[in-house]
Structure 1
Amino acid sequence: MVRFKNRWLLVEFLPSTTFAANTTSTSTSAINSKHIWSALKQSILAHFGDAGWGSVASSLTVKYYSPQTGICIIRVARDQHKVAWAGVTLLSNIEGHVFVPNVIHLSGTIKQAQLAAIQHNREVVARYRSQAGLPAAYQDSYEVYLQTSEEEIEALQD
């Protein structure tokens, strides 16, 4: 029996206010995983054609998306991960909202993608706290957010 080998892309969609002249809102809560999948499909079709889409179509799935942070975990076959990565990088907008995709991590297992997502969330919260000038032991709503996001991410199955 041959095992299906995957690559897991951890992507952060940063809202772009610089190029959003013709959009009304650049909130990440306006999109969901289905929108990301269809935008990624259109990006791959536009830049790599039917052959590019045919190579990744059967294995490309969006396993997780958090509208609060814009973090997304995408699964793709190991041999075609470069086409999917390029498609994500060349993605310009999702459902009319302009985003800048930032590939944070590439891994071979979902567990490593989960750990990278949790670590990234902690770094973002630490950055917010340092910008606000809060002490390290300060208790705020970010603690609850970190706990719930960690539970959501760890609940993912392959």
Structure 2
Amino acid sequence: MVRFKNRWLLVELIPLPQTHTTSPVTSSISRPRTPANNNNLDGKTIWAALRQSVLTHFGDVGWGAVAPSLTIKYFSPTTSVAIIRVSREHHKIAWAALTLLSSIDGVRYIPHVVHLSGTIKHAQLAAIEHNRVVIARFRALSKSAPGTRDSYDAFLEKSGLEIEALQD
């Protein structure tokens, strides 16, 4: 019996601000990332953009190697975090195509691979910890009083349960 070994990429997709001005001073100032920036992004659009990136940079051979195992197991539009599964032999192709990805559906993103693991359990733990860090940043930007319950607490509970429920 042969076991298929996978790699799990925890990826944060950081949206870039839309710049409509030509002034270099104002274009370098960016607004902070907020949860509302990713309302139209989901796992299918990420998969399609990643597919196109693999085809563009590695051709049909690269896509033929990566395609059977490439899946988006989880995506949170609030924190822009995705968990991607790919075969162990071809994870470097997927990682490179992800790094070379510049836009998804016309919106520019910076893909940041936060964690690479060999098991889904470690990817889950890293995703939960990363969500806590991102939510702490959102709370700091909102300047809410420490210790108050807000919608972020409900999100952390819900996302933690969703991430823990993922199966290989």
Query: TM-score if structure 2 supplies the norm length?
Result: 0.85
Q: Counterparts of 1:1-158 in structure 2 under 5 Å?
A: 1-17=1-17, 27-158=37-168
Aligned residues: 154
Structure 1 unaligned residues grouped into runs of 5+: none
Q: 1:55 to 1:35 in 2, by over 3 A?
A: same
One-letter code aligned to 1:121: N
Distance 1:20 1:117 in 2: 34
Any conservation in 2 of the 1:37–1:61 contact (CA below 8 Å)? Answer: yes
One-letter code aligned to 1:11: V
One-letter code aligned to 1:89: T
Distance 1:33 1:122 in 2: 21
Question: How far is 1:146 from its partner?
Answer: 0.5
Question: How far is 1:131 from its partner?
Answer: 3.7
Higher mean C-alpha deviation, range 93-102 or range 111-120: 93-102
Structure 1 vs Structure 2: percent identity of aligned residues?
57
| SS at 2:39 equivalent | helix
Distance 1:65 1:11 in 2: 9
What are the Cα deviations for residues 101-150 of structure 1, in whole angstroms up to 9, with x where unaligned? 11110000111111111000101112222344445423222111110111
Any conservation in 1 of the 2:6–2:88 contact (CA below 8 Å)? Answer: yes
User: C-alpha root-mean-square deviation of aligned residues, in Å?
Assistant: 1.8
Query: TM-score if structure 1 supplies the norm length?
Result: 0.90
Structure 2 unaligned residues grouped into runs of 5+: 22-35
